[in-house]
Amino acid sequence: NISSTTSSVRPVPSRRKWFVDLKPSKQERLTIAAAATANNNDGAVATAANDTASLTSLGFSEQKVADLIPQEDDDRLLARRSWDIALGPLKQLPMNMIFAWMAGNSFSLMSIMIVVMLFQKPIQTIFSLSSAFASLEQEGVGGNIWLLKLVYFLGSLTHLALALYKCQSMGLLPTYNSDWIAFADQQTQMEVTAGGFSYF
């Protein structure tokens, strides 16, 4: 940040953020030399001039640099960053969709692992919701943080929905009657019957 502001203040040759020329230029060397000879001629005045030249360190500028970073710009950046975080899950959705599609609907180790991953990730992100926004809260973003969290949460839910859809297409969801039939109780009998052939 600071380097960028410096560069904005004092344009330097490209590829360099900043530099200090420790080697005095020829002109300066000449002035120093002239001062030295002048010092030989009339010492006091020359020494004084030499002093001022040696007191200022290299790259030192007497000129005051103005603080150019405006407050509004900072807010904008913060907002951008927070939205980046909030929309993070949503941005990953296409990738997961491709993953899910690649895994296919058959049962194999890969597809099972991908399904597990599809469930694991959004659940993890939901649980790490507060920690994801912790840095933002430190920087004092109040106001719309709830909105951000909501977006983040909804984004994670889309992942969960994707995972459920995947399970559904793989036939893992107990959505049919047939999935519950094993738990059905036996029908109770409304009549009792006995008998057979008669002996006489």
Instruction: Say whether residue 2 binds other proteins (CB under 8 A).
Output: no
Task: Name the minimum Å distance from CB 107 to other proteins.
Answer: 13
Q: What is the CA radius of gyration of the chain?
A: 38
DSSP string, 69-89: --HHHHHHHHHHHHHHHHHHH
Task: Name the minimum Å distance from CB 118 to other proteins.
Answer: 22
Size of the residue set binding other proteins (CB under 8 A): 24
Which residues are CB-neighbours of 160 under 8 A, at least 6 positions away? 119, 122, 123
Which range binds other proteins by CB under 8 A, 14-22, 24-32, 49-57, 186-194?
186-194
Which residues are CB-neighbours of 73 under 8 A, at least 6 positions away? none
Task: Name the minimum Å distance from CB 181 to other proteins.
Answer: 5
Instruction: Say whether residue 138 binds other proteins (CB under 8 A).
Output: no
Instruction: Say whether residue 193 binds other proteins (CB under 8 A).
Output: yes
Residue found by looking up tokens 């950046």 in the block:
77
Half-sphere exposure of 64 (CA within 13 A, CB side): 2
Q: Can you say whether residue 172 is alpha, beta or left, with left for phi > 0 and alpha for psi between -120 and 50 degrees?
A: alpha
The interface with other proteins within residues 70-129 (CB under 8 A) comprises none
Residue whose CB is less far from other proteins, 27 or 189: 189
Encoded amino acid at 143, one letter: G
d(CA 179, CA 200): 51
CA distances from 79 to 69, 106, 133, 142, 149 (A): 16, 43, 12, 11, 13
Which range binds other proteins by CB under 8 A, 90-98, 107-115, 152-160, 192-200?
192-200
Residue whose CB is less far from other proteins, 21 or 185: 185
Which range binds other proteins by CB under 8 A, 11-19, 54-62, 111-119, 174-182?
174-182
Which range binds other proteins by CB under 8 A, 28-36, 107-115, 157-165, 185-193?
185-193
| Contacting positions for other proteins (CB under 8 A) | 171, 176-179, 181-182, 184-200
